[in-house]
Structure 1
Amino acid sequence: MSAPFYIGQRLKGKLNWYNITKHLKIVFGWQGVRIEARELTTCTNSERSQTGQSVVIKSVRHFRLENERDVLKQFQGRSPFIRPLIDEIIEPQDPPAIVVKFLDDHLLNATTSKHLSKHEIKYVARRVLQALSVLHRDGFVHTDIKPDNILVNYRTGAGSIRFTDVQLADCGSTVPACSKYAKDGDLIGAPIWRSPEAQLQIGWDTSTDIWSFGAMVCVYTRHAFVIGF
């Protein structure tokens, strides 16, 4: 199966035009091809000339894309630590696609070559907790807290902390704690970060995010961490 979008293709959004410059990741699954991310440069509506701003296009024929769009709209502008929705693609209409902010990397990649320092752990943790606080105040559960869903921009020049921006991403499976998914204990997240109640499928709420967050912090602070499931 081939990707539904090609390098050089121009897509029309509700607010702007976008020119595909790079395939970031292509995943085959769910209902056909899933284009998880595209690196793009924006174009003006009038001349459609490249302006150089990089964004990401997420495209998949799956309800999670629509859910992510709706969740991001609800929380738009309420936290600088949740990756924002920038636009929605309207041409072509199929496959559906949304435009989100581009960041340099995710935490999993950022820590493969160099461990996080104590200051960096605090810096990242504070921002992730603030993002979760906004979601949880409205009764929403992210459900998939893990290093590769925490995006970062790298700092240029010297400094004790490598990062500038830190944003929580991938709200495709974010749902209210009062939803049927939560009450029925639907299996969520990656096994290594999954809370006991989610693993046992006995119902979960916002506390499952805190478990996943705590497990991640334990790993990065090199504390003993036992997975017993």
Structure 2
Amino acid sequence: MNQQFTFQRISSLQMQTNELKKKYILQKVLGYGQYGTVYQGVNMCTRETVAIKELRHSNTDQGINVQVLREIEILKLMKCQQIISFKDLAYGQNKVYIIMEYMEEDLLTALKRDTFSEQETKVIIFQVLQGLTYLHQLGIIHRDIKPNNILHTNLEIKICDLGMAQNLNKLKPQTTRIQNHSYRAPEVFLGQKYCSKVDVWATGVLFIQLILKYNIFQGQSDIASFKQIIKFCGTPTEENWQGVTSLRNYSSLINEEPQPRILLTLLNKKLPPLLVNLIDSMLTLDPSQRISAQDALLHPYFHGLNIEKCLHKIQANRKKINTEQQTYTEVFNYSDGSKAIIVSKILKKSKNCF
């Protein structure tokens, strides 16, 4: 993003916050993050439910911080079914509001409620790989694939939160402070210049987590997560990763006897061979040998998968779930003291949807 890029050039649809209040009703808080809050809202003209991401920035950010600019710039370029779509933009003092399409929940929330079946996981991961293939073909790395950033409605997947994304075509310096450390690829830990394969590694970790309901690389710190990589994927050596011993962080992170790769032993006990082979190729230590997102879509594990048919079946099954309609009234208080009264009809689920 060059220095001449300014917030005013982002959109002809930009609004002041007063105009935001006239166009949208904020219904409830969906979640909180490091940089702001996400609300569920309704477009009063179209009655469409939307997600409104409120991002804070300081007075020293020259109007809006770089991470927010990056996310807006990239979102406006996206024309992919598996990437959350941008709808509108509003701004106020020290705050920016990105209005996006609404999805029911993220995968982290779903994981706290249920374990996904292998077939459901296949449908999810295939769509994630579709979205990543689209990004990677544009030269964009997401750099923060994790359950929180994968949204779904009836298992229809949308990748969100592109604030950490990098456009490789712009040749910007790379930071190693990317990804949650439990999803971080080994080349990032070791200080190697990385590419789109970091997203494939994170997706492989997510693949296992959705099936087993836990992240095998979970650690309390960066070093703890890296040790989990060595525990399951083995120690990086010149035999399995040419040039790895010359990486700048190698000697500080790897100073014990080489460990064997036991990932296959773990997975073979629980998963079918083709799935084990795919995950193994996604979690290959050497990024130059790791499968790409595009090639992963062509893996034999996905042969014969009809996403549209699977999603239609899932949605049809959900319609069979007993529901009851309920009307509720909610008052949302804006920070300036004004109020919005919302009367909504919701469907209360009588049981889990999976």
Q: Is 1:174–2:180 an aligned residue pair?
A: no
Q: Which amino acid aligns with 1:132?
A: L
* Residue 26 of structure 1, CA deviation: 3.8
Q: Is 1:106–2:106 an aligned residue pair?
A: yes
Q: Which amino acid aligns with 2:36?
A: I
Q: Is 1:58–2:58 an aligned residue pair?
A: no
Q: Is 1:128–2:135 an aligned residue pair?
A: no
TM-score by length of 1: 0.76
**Alpha-carbon distance in structure 1 between the residues aligned to 2:23 and 2:215:** 49
Residues 23 and 38, structure 1, Cα contact 8 Å, conserved in 2? yes
Q: Which amino acid aligns with 1:72?
A: L
Q: Aligned ranges for residues 143-182 of structure 1 at < 5 Å?
A: 143-154=143-154, 163=155, 165-178=156-169, 179-182=171-174
Shift of the 94–19 alpha-carbon distance from structure 1 to 2, 3 Å rule, reads: farther
What's the counterpart of residue 38 of structure 2? 37
- Identify the structure with the greater helix proportion: 2
Residues 177 and 204, structure 1, Cα contact 8 Å, conserved in 2? no
Structure 1 gap segments, 5+ residues each: 1-9, 45-50, 155-162
* Residue 59 of structure 1, CA deviation: 2.1
**Alpha-carbon distance in structure 1 between the residues aligned to 2:108 and 2:172:** 31
Shift of the 170–93 alpha-carbon distance from structure 1 to 2, 3 Å rule, reads: same
Structure number, greater radius of gyration: 2
* Residue 74 of structure 1, CA deviation: 1.4
**Alpha-carbon distance in structure 1 between the residues aligned to 2:116 and 2:32:** 29
Residues 206 and 215, structure 2, Cα contact 8 Å, conserved in 1? no
Q: Is 1:19–2:25 an aligned residue pair?
A: yes
The SS at the match of 1:145 is: coil
Aligned residues with identical type, % of pairs: 24
Residues 143 and 173, structure 1, Cα contact 8 Å, conserved in 2? yes
**Alpha-carbon distance in structure 2 between the residues aligned to 1:56 and 1:149:** 14
* Aligned pairs, number: 193
**Alpha-carbon distance in structure 2 between the residues aligned to 1:117 and 1:189:** 26
CA deviation map 1:24-58 (0-9, x unaligned): 2344x5xxxx43311111123xxxxxx54221111
**Alpha-carbon distance in structure 2 between the residues aligned to 1:166 and 1:110:** 13
**Alpha-carbon distance in structure 2 between the residues aligned to 1:125 and 1:135:** 15
* Residue 180 of structure 1, CA deviation: 2.6
**Alpha-carbon distance in structure 2 between the residues aligned to 1:85 and 1:195:** 29
**Alpha-carbon distance in structure 2 between the residues aligned to 1:130 and 1:109:** 22
Residues 11 and 18, structure 1, Cα contact 8 Å, conserved in 2? no
* Residue 176 of structure 1, CA deviation: 1.8
* Residue 220 of structure 1, CA deviation: 2.5
What's the counterpart of residue 313 of structure 2? none
Residues 11 and 89, structure 1, Cα contact 8 Å, conserved in 2? no
Q: Provide the aligned C-alpha RMSD in A.
A: 2.3
**Alpha-carbon distance in structure 2 between the residues aligned to 1:181 and 1:59:** 28
Residues 186 and 226, structure 2, Cα contact 8 Å, conserved in 1? no
Q: Is 1:70–2:70 an aligned residue pair?
A: no
TM-score by length of 2: 0.50
**Alpha-carbon distance in structure 2 between the residues aligned to 1:11 and 1:84:** 23
* Greater length-normalized contact order (CA 8 Å, ≥ 6 residues apart): 1
Q: Which amino acid aligns with 2:125?
A: A
Structure 2 gap segments, 5+ residues each: 1-16, 58-64, 218-224, 228-354
Residues 176 and 189, structure 2, Cα contact 8 Å, conserved in 1? no
